[in-house]
Structure 1
Amino acid sequence: MTTPESNAATEVGSGLNEEEVRRRHILPKALVVGLVAGVVASAFRLALAWAEDLRNHQLGGLHGWPSFAAWTSLGALAGGLGLWMVRRLAPEAAGSGIPHLQAVLLGKTRLHWKRLLPVKFIAGVIGIGGGLTLGREGPTVQMGGASGLMVADWFRVKAGGGERKALISAGAGAGLAAAFNSPLAGMIFVLEELQGNFTPVVFVAAFLASVSSDVVSRLLVGDKPVFHLEAMPAMSVNELPLALLLGLLAGLLGVVFNKCLLGSLDGFDRLTRSKWLGGAVAGFVAGIAGWTMPHLSGGGGTLADQAIAGEIAVGILPLLLIARFVLTMTCYGCGTAGGIFAPLLVLGALGGLLFGHGIAHLSPAWMPNPESFAVLGMGALFTAIVRAPLTGIVLMVEMTGKYDFMLPLLASCLAAYGVTEWLGSAPIYDQLRQRAERNAA
């Protein structure tokens, strides 16, 4: 039995108080969580890259009606099969999975990692690899959290204690770190979005897991930033008012995005209760988009790269922005496995580039590099939708490697946050979690 005298002896003899002892004991477990989450995230990332390359190379050589039939058939099959797997085998694997993790950490539901991990991984590869306009980052965060619980079971951590939740949170941060090569953003996301507060144990666990996961990801996938902006010059102080204006517009778009996303989910629920039909419809629509322009479907990483590089013709930017918005609403609304991180970043990049070219058309001297606003657009729209400004700022800095973008990112992200706060738009993951709780009641 632990006595006050033994506690005092521990503090005097080792220099560790009770909180520090807990942190010391969680370190090896958090390290293992990071390593496991890094392997899972890297495997998921590589599998999706292989599936996307296979899809584009195999179908890109077709022409005419055979090409149309192949794109739409593949999309419908992938969407239907992915949705069937989720609804039949692991309903909690639907969507990005981040709202489910929030509910787990709040003690409102349970996390069944043995069924979640394989279903989320396979259904995600099938759906996103088949062309659905969804992201891998949300699923990676959920699988990271599931990896944290798996490691907790390996170490026989007692149920009902805070240590299990700390390891789940650490795994979620590790998943985000591995998805974007962004360890600081992974840690901040845990504290800002999942936990909503700062505790030393969670901080230490999330930090160690995110760093170790990032190391694994860099070894297995590569250590370059997600976006390559070496040749892009730094933004001047004179462009800060434009960054603020872009943030205000992104805030408005974020409010519209959240309302439309919830409306899309409700619409699919009203139209069909089938375990596969909604996914087949969404996949068919995504197939039409892929047939029209291959990079329009899927996660959209290539499209974001082109926007940041300024390689997209100005005349088609509005069409691409509208098309990606509609595709995101359709594909996420069907309820299959896939997130909104990547789609919203693509929308932010396209919207920011369109804004930059619009200002350049009015005053070329005031806007020497319109593509730099694609970076600000991504951070601002992420902040408006997720309501996690610190994560958005750090994420964009780590993804681009452009630390001199910190000041304009601060301006645009905080402006976007202010608009959503003023309009009373709740964070999207909170809204999705509350919607799931209402449907389950």
Structure 2
Amino acid sequence: MRKMLAGLHGHTRRQVRRLWLQYGILWSGAVITGLVAVLYARLIDYGFELFRDMQGDYRLFPLVLMPAVGALCVWATRRYFPGSEGSGIPQVIASLGEQGERTTRLAAALLTLRIVAGKIALSFLAILGGFTIGREGPTVQVGAALMYNMRRFYPRPSAILEKRLILAGAAAGLAAAFNTPLAGIVFAIEELSRSFEQRASGVVITTIIFAGVVALGLTGNYTYFGTLTASVDSARNVIVSVILCGLLMGGAGGFFCWLLLNMPKWIPSPLLELRARRPVAFGALCGLAVAVIGIAAGGATYGSGYAEARGLLTGQQELSGMYPLAKMASMVGSYLPGMPGGIFAPSLSIGAGFGNLLHMLFGDISPQILIALAMVGYLAAVTQSPITSFVIVMEMVNGHALVISLMATALLASRVSRFFAPPLYEALSERYAHAHHASQAPPQQAQAAHAAHAAAPVAELEPVHAHVTEAAVVPQSALQTTAVVPQVEPQAATTAAAPAEEAPKEAWTSTPPMQEPQDAPAQEAVAAPVETLPAQALNALPEEAQPVAAEAQVATPAAAPRPRQRRKHGVQAPLDKAQHAAPDSRPATMEEQSAPLQALEPQPQVVESPLPAAPEQGESDTPAQPRRAKRVYRQGDLFD
């Protein structure tokens, strides 16, 4: 009875552990992601309310507050939280774009819990200062980082599992930020993965469901911008609206991407130098510029622009026709110093401003339709993700009646934007990946690249194609002896000046010698063990060294080259016993001395797969099989 209970207890523990690995870790991470997304949204809203209160009481207070906040954010980002700058979506794409071991390294650098804390704290500080940033992009990185760190609970997490967790966390973060679960799924497919795996669908959908349930439980069922009540009055007006919004928003969004990706082309050189050498001062200067723009615009450009876009869409607020341009300038000024913050919500606000401007020019078209189409057009132009853009706006405004119009506008705007700049997130993610790989490169590679660059003029003067050591230059004629040494790798010369008496020594030895003093006499260099030299190599030696070299050549037998071990299908092939035989001690003949010269002639290299030698007596005829790897727990199969 006791044994039966013990066996039942062990079976129960195994089942509980299996369920925890299959579902518990994923569900727990999804719940945590939804909870953090809601709390982060409330924190950002609270910070902007505090700024509004301070700015309402003291109209010129942003001139002092914003430079200080900008400098503090840039300093803290560079000093304590590198990798948390910007929206966070390029970091997630860079982590997903790598393969194998690089995925783990890059994600471990860009998706840490420390970056999560820095992203939340610094974006709160930036919105407290009134900068034009959003919370949706940072929520994507926060969700991806939280789900990525859940891998610690798996016994042996694989790279595939880590990528699925990152993908699911990012999608859940966007869905919880906008309360748009369908947009989260589309965002994961179109923007993040670019190649959606079937097995990853269960992970993404499950994570979005649990994160969405948590968000709905804390905030209730709501639409981000309310409900679109306008109806389509005529097909002609809709077609004109789609064409206008698609072309104009595509150009405006593409120009914004060009500004962010080509800063050296339009920023003056003194400002670029200030940004590179004194980034904290540059952040303070950008904060001052954003404050001046906000004061000139009557305070409408501060913050993410959510209130302004919602007011324009519902018809409860009127803004100037210059609002979208001022908001775009404020957004560029907030993004240049590298403060943590997203561009989703500000882009929607800029699009709403352009829609309001189009309504001023074409009054016979419904303002709500123009604003909705302009919002989706500008967002699609900035992100160049048309499907994600129209799904987000459709769910935000509950505009299912405008599905076809939203799709057409998003597609047209994204295509027009590509004439100005490449996709913004992909271009920034490539920069993150290149910067991380450059920082992880060993110093030897950098030194080798520097040496190769320094030796480039020497290689042009006298091309050398044999391996040489430091402080040694091999004459071109002496290089013919390299045929005696097996497997000499071609390599460019690294130095140009060396004593002439050391060149024969490099040519005689079969292996590179240890570094010796450069002032050694020629007789000591020639006295080293030598191999068979052709006549051209002897003539290239100094006159005082030729007799000694000739004597050493006759006295020293030619060493047989070391046999090369060949491998076939991952299993080392047995070597012939004749290869291990001692070299012949007889003097080399003239035919053998001329063999190196014949070997220098260009011949096609044919790699043959030798048959294994006959097995020794007592050995089995069965070829050796590679050792079977230990079975790794496949967590990817758990989410089908």
TM over 0.5: yes
Give SS of 2:367's match: coil
Give SS of 1:336's match: coil
Percent identity among equivalent residues? Answer: 29
Greater mean deviation of Cα atoms: 372-381 or 104-113: 104-113
Q: Within 1, Cα distance between the matches of 2:19 and 2:236?
A: 46
In structure 1, the partner of 2:38 is 42
Q: Within 2, Cα distance between the matches of 1:24 and 1:388?
A: 36
1:384 aligns with 2:381: yes
Deviation at 1:279, TM superposition (A): 2.3
Q: Within 2, Cα distance between the matches of 1:300 and 1:233?
A: 25
1:55 aligns with 2:51: yes
Deviation at 1:236, TM superposition (A): 4.2
Q: Within 1, Cα distance between the matches of 2:155 and 2:115?
A: 20
In structure 2, the partner of 1:337 is 340
Alignment of 1:261-410 (within 5 A): 261-264=260-263, 267=267, 270-272=273-275, 273-292=277-296, 293-313=298-318, 316-317=320-321, 319-360=322-363, 364=364, 367=365, 369-410=366-407
Letter in 2 for 1:33: G
**Residues 27 and 204 in structure 1, CA contact (< 8 A), matched pair in contact too:** no
In structure 1, the partner of 2:5 is none
Deviation at 1:58, TM superposition (A): 2.8
Give SS of 1:178's match: helix
Greater mean deviation of Cα atoms: 45-54 or 221-230: 221-230
Deviation at 1:386, TM superposition (A): 0.9
Give SS of 1:419's match: helix
Shift in alpha-carbon separation, 1:435–1:271, aligned structure 2, 3 A? farther
Q: Within 2, Cα distance between the matches of 1:132 and 1:91?
A: 20
Deviation at 1:162, TM superposition (A): 0.6
Shift in alpha-carbon separation, 1:248–1:29, aligned structure 2, 3 A? farther
Alignment of 1:126-165 (within 5 A): 126-153=125-152, 155-156=153-154, 158-165=156-163
**Residues 376 and 408 in structure 1, CA contact (< 8 A), matched pair in contact too:** yes
**Residues 83 and 123 in structure 1, CA contact (< 8 A), matched pair in contact too:** no
The normalised TM-score by structure 2 is: 0.60
Letter in 1 for 2:169: G
Question: What CA deviation, in whole Å up to 9, does each residue of 1:7-28 have, x standing for no partner?
Answer: xxxxxxxxxxxxxxx9996554
74, 77, 93: which one aligns with 1:102: 93
Greater mean deviation of Cα atoms: 283-292 or 197-206: 283-292
In structure 2, the partner of 1:427 is 423
Letter in 1 for 2:305: G
**Residues 255 and 421 in structure 2, CA contact (< 8 A), matched pair in contact too:** no
**Residues 264 and 330 in structure 1, CA contact (< 8 A), matched pair in contact too:** no
**Residues 310 and 353 in structure 1, CA contact (< 8 A), matched pair in contact too:** no
Q: Within 1, Cα distance between the matches of 2:420 and 2:332?
A: 21
Give SS of 1:295's match: coil
Higher relative contact order (CA 8 A, sep 6+): 1
Question: What CA deviation, in whole Å up to 9, does each residue of 1:346-405 have, x standing for no partner?
Answer: 111111221233122xxx2xx1x1232111111111111211111111101111112112
**Residues 383 and 416 in structure 1, CA contact (< 8 A), matched pair in contact too:** yes
Q: Within 2, Cα distance between the matches of 1:113 and 1:393?
A: 31
Give SS of 1:357's match: helix
In structure 2, the partner of 1:15 is none
209, 213, 230: which one aligns with 1:215: 213
Q: Within 1, Cα distance between the matches of 2:188 and 2:383?
A: 13
The normalised TM-score by structure 1 is: 0.86
Shift in alpha-carbon separation, 1:269–1:338, aligned structure 2, 3 A? farther
Deviation at 1:424, TM superposition (A): 6.8
Letter in 2 for 1:321: P
**Residues 389 and 417 in structure 1, CA contact (< 8 A), matched pair in contact too:** yes
Greater mean deviation of Cα atoms: 376-385 or 215-224: 215-224
Letter in 2 for 1:196: R
Alignment of 1:80-91 (within 5 A): 80-91=71-82
In structure 2, the partner of 1:237 is 235
Give SS of 2:83's match: helix
In structure 1, the partner of 2:168 is 170
Q: Within 1, Cα distance between the matches of 2:333 and 2:262?
A: 10
Deviation at 1:146, TM superposition (A): 0.4
Q: Within 2, Cα distance between the matches of 1:404 and 1:250?
A: 21
In structure 1, the partner of 2:222 is 224
Greater mean deviation of Cα atoms: 283-292 or 127-136: 283-292
**Residues 235 and 405 in structure 1, CA contact (< 8 A), matched pair in contact too:** no
Letter in 2 for 1:224: Y
Give SS of 1:79's match: helix
1:260 aligns with 2:259: yes
**Residues 283 and 337 in structure 2, CA contact (< 8 A), matched pair in contact too:** yes
Deviation at 1:190, TM superposition (A): 0.9
**Residues 183 and 388 in structure 2, CA contact (< 8 A), matched pair in contact too:** yes
**Residues 171 and 188 in structure 2, CA contact (< 8 A), matched pair in contact too:** yes
1:411 aligns with 2:416: no
**Residues 353 and 372 in structure 1, CA contact (< 8 A), matched pair in contact too:** no
Shift in alpha-carbon separation, 1:269–1:42, aligned structure 2, 3 A? farther
Give SS of 2:300's match: helix
Point out the structure with max Rg over C-alpha: 2
In structure 1, the partner of 2:536 is none
Q: Within 1, Cα distance between the matches of 2:36 and 2:107?
A: 21
In structure 2, the partner of 1:7 is none
Q: How many residues align?
A: 405
In structure 2, the partner of 1:14 is none
Deviation at 1:43, TM superposition (A): 1.2
Letter in 2 for 1:94: E
**Residues 255 and 420 in structure 2, CA contact (< 8 A), matched pair in contact too:** no
Q: Within 2, Cα distance between the matches of 1:239 and 1:159?
A: 55
Deviation at 1:83, TM superposition (A): 1.6
Shift in alpha-carbon separation, 1:324–1:54, aligned structure 2, 3 A? same
Deviation at 1:262, TM superposition (A): 1.9
